[in-house]
Structure 1
Amino acid sequence: MADFPKLSPSKLLQRLTPPKRKVRMVLDTDTFNEIDDQFAVVYAMKSPEQLQVEAFYAAPFHNQLSTGPQDGMEKSYNELLTISSHLPEMSGIPVYRGSGSYLSGPDTPVESEAARNLVERAMASTDDDPLYVVAIGAITNVASAILMEPRIIEKIVVVWLGGHALHWPTTKEFNLFQDLHASRLILNCGVPLVLIPCLGVASHLLTTLSEVKDYVKDKGPVGEYLHDTFEGCSKDHVGYSRVIWDLAAVAYLIDDAWLPNELVHSPLLSEEFRWSFDASRHLIRYVHYIHRDSVFKDLFGKLG
């Protein structure tokens, strides 16, 4: 069993206070899995007044778009490079390959460039300038880094789009259920955590092809790329909308007022992917709603 450092209650509350200044961040993303990751990458890069993006990490995923987590990670890595070719702001920002598999046990990290870089980058952080780790895929890379060097718990804040709302009957959400060991570690180890659920919360972030045509398509090469990606996600866009889930994690660091939130005790995650609760556990920050219009208005304005 790994020995994790425990932050004092005052330090934990300080880290869980939404930032009101520009922050350093890395983005851990399964970029090829969905069309929302591309929007999140662009949103982060178009927000230099609020965010200093230091690195991108390719996360594993396994569904109909990949033959396994290794293939999903490689496709995500290559998709980050593709986005970079459309987005000059990404020039010079390193992109690292992440885990090629999920955690095989609760104490066994997966070796990767991404996890090693996260350890190095986090350990170089000062006490008054933590590194924000924005994770919008399976949390394997981040959990592996914590297992490799538990002291980074004292140096980082994790903002994770994972699971469903705490009142949802099941939390078998794609990011969370791919790697049960990693998901449990993030919830249990005491790292300062901002949890943004999918169904019931990020599911408010719906948009349509008509809106993307009006406010994204003509915003340069990256706007055209995002539009074409959105258009290609469905054969029939009549009466169709799509959730751009991953914008939520970036938007929290830009203006948390758009994402009403509260302090709650970190939930327990069962093997059946259900939440349960224990008031003796450490606190996390939990987002319970999103003002959808504010997020999209900010994104569309920055694309211009």
Structure 2
Amino acid sequence: MKFPVLSDEFRVKRLAPPKGKTVRMVLDTDTYNEIDDQFAVVYALKSPDRLRVEALYAAPFFNELSSGPADGMEKSYDELLRIVGHLGITPERFVYKGARTYLPGAFEPAHSEAALDLVERAMASSDDDPLYVTAIGAITNVASAILIEPRIIEKIVVVWLGGHALHWPNTNEFNLQQDVHAARVVFDSGVPLVLVPCMGVASHLQTTLAEIKAFVQGRGAIGNFLHDTFERCSKDHFGYSRVIWDISTVAYLIEPDWVPTTLAFSPVLTDQLTWSTDASRHLIRYAFFAHRDPIFKDLFRKIARDRD
């Protein structure tokens, strides 16, 4: 499979943190998989001063909450409909179903409404206004779009919550290990990529039911929805905190200083699900920390705009 060759100068310029401008974005999410996706979707939709969310894509997932990737995608799609319904947003031509399978082979796309919409939306982008593709689940839909139309790597910036920190002993993380073929497409294609690791970076973003009750519950229908979702995540909240991983990617687009990054060589994903470094590879932007407090303050303030 051949991908367009981007110059180092072009890629580094494209990977500059998006400070001081409104970002065009789509959000690809396995929304029903856990409880953090819901917070990330709401955070993005309640940040119109910084983010222009053009579409939401349902990603596949397979764990105890689904009977397979297709069922996971359908449940994520339904969860997206619930969220936009609470926010009074019309889902038509905004919420799209994603792949029903993971990539069937190393360079075989999984066709879906989401992948095709991403191709169309990306190719319509101007050269000086890239589309940010924020992915917070298995990256199947995004990799499929790249395989369907490789030229989109010239038009997009992918921001992905996937894998663990580069110093972590392994990168056997849920988003990544579900679709290794898709992850390798994203790491190997040369698409401008901002990688936000889970353990070691997004893992700083913990909150508790007490905090959710204080700052989220009673803040409109969406606040109550998020509170109830959080409360159901554990039978025992005594001394318990939960990582809201996915808001890290949205926070990076809102204020890059909250999720500081550096340039690094695109890692090689081994068959053992570990990272390997090759200094001859292209550069990506790599997040190495997440400042917990300003991110949650911003999220809570935006949710608080809707009070009962």
Q: TM-score, normalised by structure 2?
A: 0.97
Indicate if the aligned counterparts of 2:123 and 2:155 stay in contact, CA closer than 8 A: yes
**Residue 16 of structure 2 aligns with which residue?**
17
Deviation by residue 1:122-180 (Cα, 9 ceiling, x = unmatched): 00000000000000000000000000000000000000000000000010000000001
* Correspondences of 1:112-123 after superposition (within 5 Å): 112-123=112-123
Indicate if the aligned counterparts of 1:98 and 1:114 stay in contact, CA closer than 8 A: yes
Indicate if the aligned counterparts of 2:18 and 2:253 stay in contact, CA closer than 8 A: yes
Of 81-90 and 122-131, more deviation after overlay is shown by 81-90
Which AA in structure 2 matches 1:141?
A: N
TM superposition shift of 1:89:
4.6
- Classify the secondary structure of the residue corresponding to 1:119: helix
**Residue 253 of structure 2 aligns with which residue?**
253
Correspondence 1:60 to 2:43: no
Indicate if the aligned counterparts of 1:161 and 1:195 stay in contact, CA closer than 8 A: yes
Deviation by residue 1:177-209 (Cα, 9 ceiling, x = unmatched): 000100011001000000000001000000000
* Correspondences of 1:175-254 after superposition (within 5 Å): 175-254=175-254
**Residue 37 of structure 1 aligns with which residue?**
37
The share of aligned pairs that are identical, in percent, is 67
Indicate if the aligned counterparts of 2:122 and 2:152 stay in contact, CA closer than 8 A: yes
Q: How many angstroms apart in 1 are the aligned matches of 2:228 and 2:149?
A: 41
- Unaligned runs of at least 5 residues, structure 1: none
Indicate if the aligned counterparts of 1:216 and 1:223 stay in contact, CA closer than 8 A: yes
**Residue 140 of structure 2 aligns with which residue?**
140
**Residue 263 of structure 2 aligns with which residue?**
263
- Classify the secondary structure of the residue corresponding to 1:141: helix
Q: CA RMSD in A?
A: 0.9
TM superposition shift of 1:88:
2.0
TM superposition shift of 1:117:
0.3
Q: How many angstroms apart in 2 are the aligned matches of 1:97 and 1:69?
A: 12
- Classify the secondary structure of the residue corresponding to 1:117: helix
- Classify the secondary structure of the residue corresponding to 2:25: strand
Which AA in structure 2 matches 1:16?
A: L
Indicate if the aligned counterparts of 1:45 and 1:90 stay in contact, CA closer than 8 A: no
Indicate if the aligned counterparts of 2:156 and 2:192 stay in contact, CA closer than 8 A: yes
Deviation by residue 1:232-268 (Cα, 9 ceiling, x = unmatched): 0000000000000000010000001001110000000
Deviation by residue 1:60-113 (Cα, 9 ceiling, x = unmatched): 000000010000000000000011111125666611110000111111001100
Indicate if the aligned counterparts of 1:30 and 1:76 stay in contact, CA closer than 8 A: yes
Correspondence 1:3 to 2:31: no
Deviation by residue 1:38-76 (Cα, 9 ceiling, x = unmatched): 000000000000000000000000000001000000000
**Residue 46 of structure 1 aligns with which residue?**
46
Q: How many angstroms apart in 1 are the aligned matches of 2:109 and 2:282?
A: 23
- Classify the secondary structure of the residue corresponding to 1:245: coil
TM superposition shift of 1:272:
0.8
- Classify the secondary structure of the residue corresponding to 1:88: coil
Indicate if the aligned counterparts of 1:54 and 1:93 stay in contact, CA closer than 8 A: no
Q: How many angstroms apart in 2 are the aligned matches of 1:233 and 1:296?
A: 19
Q: How many angstroms apart in 1 are the aligned matches of 2:146 and 2:123?
A: 11
Q: How many angstroms apart in 1 are the aligned matches of 2:239 and 2:93?
A: 38
Q: How many angstroms apart in 1 are the aligned matches of 2:89 and 2:77?
A: 17
Indicate if the aligned counterparts of 1:27 and 1:135 stay in contact, CA closer than 8 A: yes
* Correspondences of 1:68-147 after superposition (within 5 Å): 68-89=68-89, 94-147=94-147
Indicate if the aligned counterparts of 1:45 and 1:89 stay in contact, CA closer than 8 A: no
How many pairs does the alignment contain? 303
Q: How many angstroms apart in 1 are the aligned matches of 2:93 and 2:137?
A: 20
Indicate if the aligned counterparts of 2:31 and 2:80 stay in contact, CA closer than 8 A: yes
Q: How many angstroms apart in 1 are the aligned matches of 2:89 and 2:218?
A: 18
**Residue 282 of structure 2 aligns with which residue?**
282
Indicate if the aligned counterparts of 1:262 and 1:287 stay in contact, CA closer than 8 A: yes
Correspondence 1:303 to 2:303: yes
